[in-house]
Structure 1
Amino acid sequence: MHKNNIHSDRTRSGETGFSALLEALPDAVYIIDEKGVILDTNTLFTSQFNMQPQECLGANIYDLIENVVHLPELATYHREKSEEVLRTGKRVEFADARDIRKVTISPLGLPDESETRLLVTIQNIAEQNRIYRELQKERSIKTTILDAIPFSVVILDADLKMNFGNRYAQEMLFCKPESANSCIDASDFFGADEMGFLRKTIMEILDSGIEDAREIEVHPHGAPNPLWLLTRTSRIFIDGEPCALSIGVDITERKLSEIALRESKMRFSYALDASHSGIWEWNVETDELSWSEQVWGLYGLQVNALPLNNQLCVDTVHPDDREMASWMTRKAAREGSAAAIEYRVIHPDGSIHWLTSRGMPLHDKSGAVTRFIGTIIDITERKESEIALSDSKTRLNQALKAASAGVWEWDLNTGENIWSDEIWPLYGLESSEGNPSFELWAKSIHNEDRQKVIQTVSDAARNATELNIEYRVLYPDCSVHWLLSRGKPIFNDNDKAIRYIGTIIDITEQKQTEIALSANKTRFSFALDATHAGVWEWDVRADQIIWSDHVWALYGLEPNSMAKTHKLCASTVHPDDRELTFQKVMSAVQKETDINMEYRVCHLDGSIHWLMCRGMPLLDENGQVTHYIGTVMDITERKERDREIVESRSLLKQALEAARAGTWEWNLNTGENTWSEEARLLHGLKLDNPKPSFELWASTIHPDDRQRVIRSAASAAENKTELYSEYRISYQNNSIRWLMSRGKPLYDRDGNVERFIGTIIDITERKEIEEELRRSQERLNFILENSHIGVWDLNLQDGNTDRTLEHARIFGYETIPPVWSLEKFFDHIIPEDRSAIEALVPRKIAKKESYTFECRIHSARGELRWIRVTGTYKFDKQSNANHVLGIIEDITGQKEVQSALRESELKFRTIFDHFPVAIAIKNAHDGKLLDVNNAWQQIFGYTKEEVTGRTVKELNLYIQNEDYEKNSAVLNEQGKIVNKTFLFRKKNGKTVHALYSGEHIMLNSKECFLVMMTDITLQELQQVSIERLEQIVAERTRQLNEEVEHLHNFISMISHEYRTPLAIIRGNLNLIKLKNKSSDNPNIPHINKINKAIDRLVEVMEIAIEESRIIGSRTTAESVSVELAPVVASQIESFRNMWDDRSILYMEKLGNADIYCDPSQLKLAIFNLLDNARKYSPSDSPIEVDGRIEDNEAVIRIRNRSERISQYEEEAVFEKYRRGSNAVGTAGAGIGLWLVRTIINQLDGQVNIIHTASGVEATVRIPLANHE
């Protein structure tokens, strides 16, 4: 065996680490050079040769495989693959023949060496291949199972592509397996209308993960009909992507059965409706009834309109049948037998119907009757037919006598004849002349008809056909009568005619009528010509038409110019009427009813004519329609008149609508009312309201007007006068409308008022105008009276003067004096003013001019008053008289106000001039100063005369011209400036700081600006000093904040520094405590005191650190969504670990509620509340914790059994460094509850403490994360 010296390679730096790395690999690994010498390896490889790694180093791998393992072929194959890797530089993999190991040869080149080494890995893939084969086997089994199950299994991705489908699904969708189609679109099997809903449903399942079950319709390829599947779809993940797994069961047969069942039920319901029948069920034990909808209709009731019970049945049965029906029902129930009853029922409208009810009993296992089920059928028609048949038999006998008819019978075998008593006189014979026989009958027939009649009868008997023959008979008195004999053969069991039975009727009058009709036919033809009508006949079965010559002209055609067919008729009918005309004809034929229609036809000359066609069906002996016969008439002129009437009515309706008017009619004899649509709407009624009546009309009238209007209508009806009334209507929207109703009486032939006809008009607007006029008059009177204005009218013809009461009061009279004249008026004027007025008034009247003057008068009570008089000349055309109209106004108060105003203006001037603030008034349009006060003159050094009439710009008062422009713009746009600081220039050129305000005002009807300025030059100097002081304060504040920050840092540092020695002290104390376990050890109390002191010191440090952290986190901490229940539970658990001797009762109803918070701070707040409850409650009392959700808030309540606290302390305990009155003897810094409130407030929550009957309760409320 060849070995190389590789000791230097093994002793290189890092050799040990590399070997350890190889040993850590899970596979057999070795490194060889280009000659196959093993440079390094691991134990997994060398163990295959029963060697150690050191023994294999330097050995040749090919020699080992050939000589040790004895696989020369593998050694050769290994050498070839190694040389291939050295040559190509690419990795090579191969497996042994048994597929147990996989060998990987990879090039391994080191940066500092030129030669290439090979890293060979031998991986045992037996287990991997076994797992793969098992997986393949399992997949094959599952696929086989999926293919074998009798329902479809498909997997859809988010794009509704089918990634997988079992054989059942493929055969269902394609009618054969489609394994080649790896991805199929769902739209291939669903309609366009269904895809949107399917896509929405699948996306909801993929998003929510909630299963969905529904019935869907699938359209397989190549299948004529769709399939129905009951599917259950759920979400699964394939390669991390959500997919929909849908399992479907074919329910097509069930679905078709359901459809068939629905159709069957529908047909059954139709059948019940068509047969006027229904189904009922009666539970004998519970006495409960069940009716189908049809039964309710048979009893004339709405479905479920009344409680369904036996009393309802009894109430609807006719009183005469009630006892019978009840007895038969009880009998059937008692005997357990079937029941069949016929009885009458009374419908709510009073009509009587016959019903037959049949019921069958149903028995239980013991044979007892439990219920009856049966049907009810309306047999009214049958009953009516039976009654009619009975009546018909009676009438037949009477009719035979009245119609001169008889019944006969002829036995073909014996030749025997039987005649009724009525036949003998029909033949002019006496019954005593012998027995009826064929010979006696033949002998009585008229000679001219005898042979033909006998031959017809013989042929009918030989052929066993019906007999129908007319013939004459000759009476002994030589009178001739016509008889109609009809007979029907009667057959035996061998279908052989054995006898005839029939009737004989005297048709003498009918024959005479036929002769008369023939004579009238000519006259009828003339009548048709006169009425522009024609006659037609239509053979329905042969579809042949016959019409008179007049019809050709009606259709505008030449007689017999074309074949008479339906196409000919249709070609002449106007195109717009053709389809409808055809439908009406076919409908009449199908329903076997009369034809009655109007339509237009187009003549060849282009003219259009209206025709009215009427026809009636003719039936054969079987009651089938065989022919229609009727007339067609030209109604063009009538249609023109109808059109004119319609247009006239339309115009009338439009006029009524435009006037908001309606029409009505009231029949006094029947009480019937007829209203137009507009009349209904005017009364606030809908068109589908109840039928109009006097009572309905009265109910719509406003309660305050109702009795008056009803009396007015009754009076008009009683006195035969026209009806006129105005009244109000209250609409449903609470609006009030005024209506005016006028009616005229119409008389019958006897002169009695038969009815009223009239109109109804909305006069709301007129009433509103009248009300407004009334109010205006009231307001005018009120204004005249309260403004002390009197009105007068002087008639120049007679000198009389009409006056208002206020006119008299102005002159000091309580009432209007009976006599008034110009002289009387002049007497009241004081002497100083009288002469001028006495000259003015007559002069103005003579010139017919208006005048106004003011003067003083002495009233009748001696008071001195000022008055203003205005007069205007007017000519009254009606009275042909000249008038002077005028008013007189007491202006005494106004004169007093004017005097006071002058005094006020003087006071204002004084105030204006001496006001300490500088004031200026300037024109808003040209900016010229109108006035300035003394303060303004003192500030700027100008006199009023120097500035009046000049602008601020001309005086050059602004230091900066842009300030002037800005002020002018703001005042013009906004009309106001308040306290703006500007620099101004005095007359001597010095600068002044002024506080400027301006506002838009109206002065003597002129737009002006009021400008006020205050000299703040001194204040500006003071402000500079204040700003400097503020800067000093701000700098000092910054320094204080830095010192506070240093202080917090120092506290944190000290707290952290103290923790280690305190922990050492606590540990040593615990050791001491363990060594002194004896209960009588005197050091135990001292050790406990030391522990409490350490706890207190740690608590103070923790609170200080937390306070510092909370203050620092107010702007930096970020809240996250946290599930609340685990946070609370963790703090309760921490509390129990620290104080296991305290009992905590926790009731948790928070569920999965989330809140936004900093978890560490929230934990501190909860722990502090728990610790606070521990401190201030007896050690043997429990602490109760309750968590729940209330009004979108998480609520945590912590209760303890502590001593009572005052209402003031309930709020004060949250203050910093504040402790409760019950805190004596307990550790604490007075900062714990302050931290709790600070933390909860940062969460937008609330915390409070209250006293309860059992102790103290702390409540925390925090908004939920999902609450908007």
Structure 2
Amino acid sequence: MAERMMKGEEGVTTYQFDRIRENVVKKLTKQAVFMPVRLGNSFWSIVIATPEEQAVSVLQGFKNRLILIALLFVIGVGLFFFVLFRSSILAEEVERRKKTEEALRESEEKYRMLAENASDIIWSMDMSLQFTYISPSVEKVQGWTAEEMKSLRLQDIMPSDSLAVIMKVFEEEIALEKTPGADPKRTRRFEIKEYHKGGSTIWMELIAGFIRNEHGDPIGITGITRDIMDRKLAEEALRSSEERFFKAFHISPAPTIISNLEDGRYLDVNESFAKMLGFSREEMIGRTASELNVWANYDDRKSVVEKLAARGFLRDVALDLQTKSGNTRHVLASAEIISLLKGKFMLSIFLDITDRKKIETQLRQTHKMEAIGTLAGGIAHDFNNILSSVIGYTEMALEEDGIGERPRRYLEQIHKAGERARDLVKQILAFSRKQELEQKPVLITPIIKECIKLLRSSLPATVKIVQTLTEAPVMILSDPTQIHQVLMNLCTNAAHAMQEKGGVLDIRLEQEHVDVSRTINTFTLGVGNYAKLTISDTGCGIEASIMEKIFDPFFTTKVPGKGTGLGLSVVYGIVRDHGGAIDIVSEPGKGTAVSVYFPLEETKKSLPEQATEPIPGGSECILLVDDEAALTELGCLMLTSLGYHVTSRTSSIEALEAFRARPDSFDLVITDMTMPNMRGDDLARELLKIRPDIPIILCTGFSEMISEEKAKSIGIRRFVMKPLFKNHLAKAIREVL
């Protein structure tokens, strides 16, 4: 230490010394602090020493005080920061409370503004269902002020049924409070009627829920009431509109359906649609079109749905639907997509054009028949001219002396064939309505036998003909051509039914008495005696589904080109005109029997007798006019053989000149109708101008330009149809002379 002091250093050190007290030496340690001190020019070192025990004691006391001071300091600082933190929290709490109070004030202001300006009624009530608050909008909606409303009870502002709804909802909600897990924030929505102060009734919608205390217990109810009168009126209008729609839907004569767009399931169909397809409504509703096999071609539905989805509507799409019995109905479909029952549906309206298409087909066939009729008229004229030559020359040949028995028989067959051909022309003209047939007493049996002869030569060997004809004479009032036509049509149909496998064609004729009037098919058979002609076959039979169509014009089951569908319709017309009836019994796979009833002719009229007296002749002068040279030559031969003097011309103009030159030289004029330059009726007019009393006979194979009545109105004495038989012509001449 001394060395360091001498060097002028400072520091702290310890040193030991002996302390003698009461002769007791004790080594003590002192703590010393030294530091240099300069005084003027001299150098000093100051030492401060203290016993270690004393220093330690002082330090220990200081330490204790320091710890205490530090502890007090820490406590003070802690208190300071606690107070500071608490003050900060309080300040924040105060600030937050201020903000909350401000927000609450703003919220209450907004709520108040909302409640006071809302069109809906905002309200609250206590658990006794008495209003505690109601917004001013109540006055605008119901006429009462908010204060008036608070003083009213629920039964004062609504009908009893509405009050019952509220009480029921309230009781349900109270009961629900006891249910574990019930949502405390739940609300209820319902509709009731309330009164207006003026006495009217208003539809209201209520949304309400409980007000709860801090424990979650209901202490009141709050809610919103909205005037839904306009909506209710709109709903009522919609409901009324829907009722009118469905009423129109069901009473509409147009077949109409509502079906699911996806699978075609029928939601509803009207009676017209069900009837069109042969179903009942109950059979169709709830089932799909595919289940009922309604579509003749199901791909048509896919096409309709695709087009409908793309365009939203369809108009007049031609489709084929299938009836319950399997028949096809042709329709025009119009459709739209409609929203109904929260789904997409197809509203479809159909126009059944089956009958129209049938009529169109019939019209086309009618046009064909008109063309055929026109053709038939032309054919009849030319054919009758040909027949006139065939029949006339045959008659002339039969009158020749010295012909052998065999040639005579041949000529007689030619003559009969000519007569049959003449009747065939009549039949063609009657069929095309170019000539009316005359009804007269006719024996049926000879006509049937003649038809059987024709059938034997035309039917295949696999078809056997059996005839059972009554021996009693069966007479009806008819035209032989029509009876022939009925029989040939029925036998031809029967033969066609046995075309593949052959069979038996049974022809029966009998008399039947009907003592009670009855209806057969569409015919009424009155009391009386009838000729019953039955044609039976063992062929394929007739399906029940087409039985009602077999008399329809142009309906045929034959392949195209094999039939016109007119045979049975012609038979139907002939039988109807005779006051008869047709009865058909058929079994598919076994055969068909067609019975035709004709009223018997019982007035004892005599049948036309064949002329046995000589053919009358004369010696008068006759002017014969025909543009066909062969017929003119034939006419000259016939008339000359009857004793007449004949002047012939093949030109009507030349004939007129010849008559004008010598009008008194002729006792009779026989002229054809259809000639070039001047027709026969025009020639007759000119001749009558020259000599009004001249007898004229007008002959025609066929002409629409003249009739017997028209001929008589001109002054023509007789109107005769070709082909001319010699005896008919001879009688006509004697009648006019």
TM class by shorter chain equals 0.3 to 0.5
Report the TM-score, using the length of structure 1 for normalisation. Answer: 0.22
Choose between structure 1 and 2 for higher RCO, CA contacts under 8 A separated by at least 6 residues. 2
